[in-house]
Structure 1
Amino acid sequence: MRRIKILVIDDDESLRRVLEYNLAQEGYAVLTAASGEQGLELLKKEGADLVLTDVRMPGMDGLQVMDEVRKLDAGIQVIILTAFGTIEKAVEAMRAGAFHYISKPFNRDELKLTIRKALELKALERENVVLRQALKSRNDLESIVAESPGMQQIVEMIRRVSPTETTVLILGESGTGKELVARAIHGLSPRARGPFVAVNCAAIPENLLESELFGHVRGAFTGAIRDRVGKFEAAEGGSVFLDEIGEMRPDLQVKILRCLEERTLDRVGDNRPIRVDVRVLAATNKDLAKAIQSGEFREDLYYRLNVVPLSIPPLRDRREDIRALTQHFLKSLGAPLRLTIDPEAFRALETYDWPGNVRELENALERALIFHRGDAITLHDLPETIRAPRAKEASSLPVSLPEAGLSLEQVEKELILRALQKHDWNQSRAARYLGITRHTLLYRMDKHGIARPGGRAGSGDDKDVQPDGPDAGASRTP
C-alpha cells in the first residue's frame, strides 16, 4: 500500500531533521527541502499529499510556496510553520487557503493532530468527488432510454454484469452511447465509490498514449520534468474506460493485456512493476474480428476483453426510442415546457436513418432550439440532411398508379398495408409513420378489412408498445 508522502520546507536544518524523524515515526514518507524553490522542484519530481512550509525563508516565502503548490495541485493541503513574530503572516496564509498553522517550537501531539485532520479533509474532498461521480453514474442508467426491445436487453445486461468484476467490451457505432453504458456499469458496481476514468484512445496522439495510460518518471522523455501518474493508477479502486480501443497500436495492446492478466504496469522510463486494482471496461466501433485477421489487433487481448460483449444497436434499429430521446434531450437542453414539435418534424426525426446516431439527434435538436420561432419546432428548424428525405418523400407518391385508374380508398388501403409491413405490423410505429394516431389506424384497418396474417381485422395486438397521442383513450374514429 502506498505511504502518505509529506514534504517539509524550512531553511532551519535542525528543524527539518526533527520533523523528518517524527513524521517517519508515524509511518509517513518524508521529503525535505531547504528553500521554497528547492521544495517546489522536489514536489514537481516526487509529488506529495501534504506540504509543511515555514512562512519566512530567504527567497521565496511560505505564502508564495503555497500559491505555487495550489497551481501544481489544488488537492494538496498546506500547513504553515511560524515563529511567534510571524503569526500575522500565518493567519494571512490561512485566509489564502492554508489548512492551518503550527507555532514553533511545535508540540508533537499538536503536529500529529493537525496533520491527521489535514489528511482527513483531503480524503473527504476526494470522497465527495467520487460520490458525486457515483451519483452521476447511477443517473446515467436512468437516462438510458430503453423503449425498444434491443435497448431493454442492454439495460438488463447492465444490471446483471455491474455487480461482477468481469471485463466488458461495449460494441457500437460512433454516437450510440458507449460511454454512457460504461458509466452506468461502474455506477451500479461495488466500485462505484472509486473513480471512473475515461480515455479516448483515438483522440490522444500515438506517441503520448502510453504515458497517458501508464504514467512516466522524470526524464523518461523530453518534457518529462516530473513523475506523472497514468490513467490506470488514477483509476485505483475504480474503473478505467478505454474508448475506441481498436485504434490502439499493437505494442500498447501487450501492456493492456499484462494489466488484465497480472494486475501490474510499468511507468514509461521505469521497469519497476506497480500493482493496480482497476476494472477495465472497453469500447470500439471497429470490427475487431477483421482487425485480428489483418494483424491490427491482438487475438489474445480480444478474448480477454470479450468476456461479456454488449452490442448497442444503432438508432435506426431502435426507432421506438426516438420520441423518448427527443423529450429527454429537449429537457436537458433547457427547452421551454410549452415547446412542442409539430407532427411533420416528428415524422422526419422518426424516419431519418441517423448515421451519427444518438449524438446526431442531440445536435439536431440543439440546432432546432436555436432556430425555432414560436411554441413549436417545425420541419424547417431541423438540419437540411434531415429535412431532405421528407421533401423527397413528399414529392413522390409511394404507390404506383395503374393505367386502369385507382380510387382514393384503394390508395389509402395500400398505404396502410405498406406502412404496417414496413414496421413488422407494429401498429404504433406504423401510425407514427403515417402521421396519425394508433386508434385512427385501427379504425381505418377495420374499415378496409386489413388484418395481420393470423389475426383479425383492426385487432389491437401491439402488446409491446403503449398507445400514444392525446387521444390515446378515445374511440376508434378518424
Structure 2
Amino acid sequence: MRILVIDDDATVRFMLGEICEAAGWAVEMGSNGKEGLDVFNIHKFDVVLVDYHMPEMDGLVTVQEIRKLDVEIPILVLTVDERQEIADRFLDNGATDFALKPVKAPDLISRIQLHIRLSQLTRSAHSHNREQRTDDGLEPGLYAIKGIGKNTLEHIVKYLRTVGEPSTIDQITKEVGLAYPTVYRTLTHLMQKGKVRTIISYQKVGRPKNRYEWFND
C-alpha cells in the first residue's frame, strides 16, 4: 500500500511518514498542494492525507484537483478546525474523511485501514458490474450524492441497520471509525431522504441527546 502525505510542516510530514511506515505502508511526500499534485500524477496511491492550511495551493483546492484525477481514492483531510462549515466545504469538494490534529497514531492507522478496505470493496464491486444494487439492498439514488462517497454511505448504513437500537453521533463515530463531520453529514442526508429518524433521549443529568436509527426497510 502506498500513502501520499501532503503537508507544509516538515515535522508533521516526518511524523506521518513514521506512522505509515510503522504500519507497513510506503509513503511519498508533498510540501504543499502543488507539489503533492505533481507526486500524485507520478505514482499510484491508495490513500491521500491532505493538510488544510498550506501555501501555494491550500487543502481545499488540492482535494478538488485530486478528485478530478481520481473519483474513488480516499482523501483524508488533516485539520485542527472542527467547524462543521469547513467540513461541509471539504465534503462538497470531494474529501472522504477527516483526521484531527494533533494526530494520534492508532486512530490514524485504523482510519487509513478502514478506507483502504472500503475502497477495495468498492473497486471490486465495480469490476464485477454490481453497481445497480448492493448486498445491503440500498437504492442507487442514495449514492449519487455530492460530498458523500458511496463506500462511506454504505458503511454507515450497514451499521445503522444492524445495531438494533438508536445511537448518538458519538457512538456511531466510534463504531464506524469515521470522523464526526463525516458521520454528521451522512446522517443529515439520510434523514432528508427519509431513511433515518431522530429520537430524543432525555438524560437524568444534562441536556437531552439526539439518537439516530434506521427505520425505512
Q: Does 1:51 align with 2:48?
A: yes
Q: Which runs of 4+ in 1 moved over 4 A?
A: none
What displacement does 1:92 show?
Answer: 2.0
Segments of structure 2 that go 5 or more residues without pairing to the other structure are 131-217
Partner of 1:63: 60
**TM-score if structure 2 supplies the norm length?**
0.56
Matched, 1:117 2:110: no
* Deviation at residue 90 of structure 1 after TM alignment: 3.2
Q: Tell me how far apart the structure 1 counterparts of residues 111 and 92 of structure 2 sit (CA, whole Å).
A: 17
Q: Does 1:73 align with 2:70?
A: yes
Determine the structure 2 residue equivalent to 1:41. 38
Is the Cα–Cα contact under 8 Å of residues 32 and 57 in structure 2 kept in the other structure? yes
Cα pair distance change 1:30/1:86, threshold 3 Å = farther
For 1:93, the aligned partner's letter is F
Residue type of the alignment partner of 1:122: S
Q: Deviations over 1:268-300 (max 9, x none)?
A: xxxxxxxxxxxxxxxxxxxxxxxxxxxxxxxxx
Q: What pairs with 1:438-457 in structure 2 (closer than 5 Å)?
A: none
Tell me, what secondary structure is at the counterpart of 2:49?
Answer: strand
**Secondary structure at the residue paired with 2:8?**
coil
| Cα offset, 1:110, TM superposition | 1.3
Deviations 1:14-49 (A, max 9, x none): 000000011001011100110000000011111211
Count of matched residue pairs: 132
Equivalent residue letter for 1:104:
K
| Alpha-carbon distance in structure 2 between the residues aligned to 1:86 and 1:8 | 23
Q: Which has the larger share of strand? A: 2
Hey, what does 1:103 align to over in structure 2? Answer: 100
RMSD between aligned residues? 2.1
What letter is aligned with 1:50?
Answer: V
Q: Deviations over 1:67-87 (max 9, x none)?
A: 111111112110000013666
Q: Is the contact made by 1:79 and 1:102 (CA closer than 8 Å) also made in structure 2?
A: yes
Greater CA radius of gyration, 1 or 2?
1
In the TM superposition, residue 89 of structure 1 has moved relative to its aligned partner by 2.2
CA contact 2:5–2:13 (8 Å) conserved in 1: yes
Which runs of no fewer than 5 residues in structure 1 stay unpaired?
134-478
Query: What CA distance in whole angstroms lies between the structure 1 residues aligned with 2:2 and 2:20?
Result: 10
CA distance in 1, matches of 2:36, 2:84: 22
Q: What CA distance in whole angstroms lies between the structure 2 residues aligned with 1:104 and 1:80?
A: 10
Residues 33 and 58 of structure 2 are in contact (CA less than 8 Å); yes or no, is this contact kept in structure 1?
yes
1:150-178 per-residue CA deviation (whole Å, 9 max, x = no partner) reads: xxxxxxxxxxxxxxxxxxxxxxxxxxxxx
Q: In the aligned structure 2, how far is the partner of 1:109 from the partner of 1:11? A: 23
Q: 2:118 aligns to what SS in structure 1?
A: helix
1-side partners of 2:83 and 2:26: how far apart?
A: 28
For 1:114 and 1:36, how far apart are their aligned partners in 2? 22
Residue among 2, 7, 19 paired with 1:5: 2
- The yes-or-no answer on 1:30 pairing with 2:27 is yes
What is the alpha-carbon distance in structure 1 between the residues aligned to residue 83 and residue 32 of structure 2? 18
Q: TM-score, normalised by structure 1?
A: 0.26
Q: Is the 8 A contact 2:48 2:76 kept in 1?
A: yes
Bigger relative contact order (CA 8 A; separation at least 6): 2
- Residues 55, 90 of structure 1: 8 Å contact kept: no
1:131 offset after TM fit, Å?
Answer: 2.3
Please tell me whether the aligned partners of residues 55 and 89 of structure 1 are also in contact (alpha carbons under 8 angstroms): no
Going from structure 1 to structure 2, the CA distance change for 1:42 and 1:111 (only over 3 Å counts) comes to same
- Answer yes or no: is the 8 Å Cα contact 2:19–2:109 preserved in 1: no
CA 1:86–1:8 in 2, change beyond 3 Å: closer, same or farther?
A: farther
1:127 aligns with 2:124: yes
